[in-house]
Amino acid sequence: MPIKKVDDGYYLDERPWGSSGKRIQKKFRTRAEAQRYLNYVVTEGEQKPWSRQREDKRRLSDIIDKWYDVHGRTYADPESSKRKLDAIALALGNPIASQLTANAYSKYRGKRLESGLKPKTANNDLTLLKGVYNKLISIKDIHYPNPIANIEKIKVQEQELAFLTHEDIEKLFRAIESARHPHLEIVTKICLSTGARISEACGLHGSHVIQSGNSFKVTFFKTKGKKNRSIPISKKLFEEIPKKAGPLFTDCRKAFERAIDRAGITLPDGQCTHVMRHTFASHFMMNGGNILVLQKILGHAKIEQTMIYAHFAPSHYEDAVRLNPLFKLHHS
């Protein structure tokens, strides 16, 4: 019998869902109270299946380690993601993972924002930690709901994306002439011609630059979106790219930042390394490019990411007049 008479009342000791399920142990003043509680637990278990499981006492650092083993290693920069998660766990006091609350995480986030953390970084951290729970839930390693699932990202004011004008580009190449880095000029040309990130261009190998008849292209591997991208280039640019096996360039991000400074070009904080990508996309649209083609070139998974450049299209607003449903009625 799950309910037994003891000296000072009645003791409930039961596993309603078998030996692998949660064990219920509790003392009551009367048998009726014990029975009511057992009925409540069973009903709750029908509505919330995760409550039937044995209590998961793993701490946040434990599930982060498990996530890293089963999924985190596949990230583009797994060590960096793991360090961020470990730091979050430490700052939260490394609680039992199932007992982390939305309130506790929100308070932690609020203190970090007060200390100067940027909202965008806070949103990235939240997405990363949510992903740990979601991945382990999906593989049935965790049997309870994601405790921070309902925490919303901070609304961030959309920042204007800086891009280089034709005059800026001329200044930049003049500044590059005095650069010590041997690959800076050609890497800059590749980025401005393809919309590639500096890291992608610096990562090119000889085998990634291909001529097929009268067409030429470069293929970027190990991209942020984890999809390879092949982009056509001009014959002139193709001929300027070194022809050799293995890696073609060394990292030149710092050299690029110094060239931007020498050129006297002022950019918003955090946009220097991406300004060539933004420049390609902005000029592509200003010159009449198709937004869907741009999405493919940039490797964006969602069109919403690419739509930030849509306003550069020459007919961006004019189309609202020409394509609205009353246009033909008024011009027939």
Which residues are designated catalytic?
Answer: 197, 224, 274, 277, 300, 309
d(CA 61, CA 132): 11
Q: How far apart are CA 316 and CA 98, in angstroms?
A: 49
Structure tokens at 172: 């930049």
| Per-residue CA distances from 41 to 4, 12, 50 (Å) | 18, 12, 12
In whole angstroms, give the CA distance from residue 223 to residue 297.
12
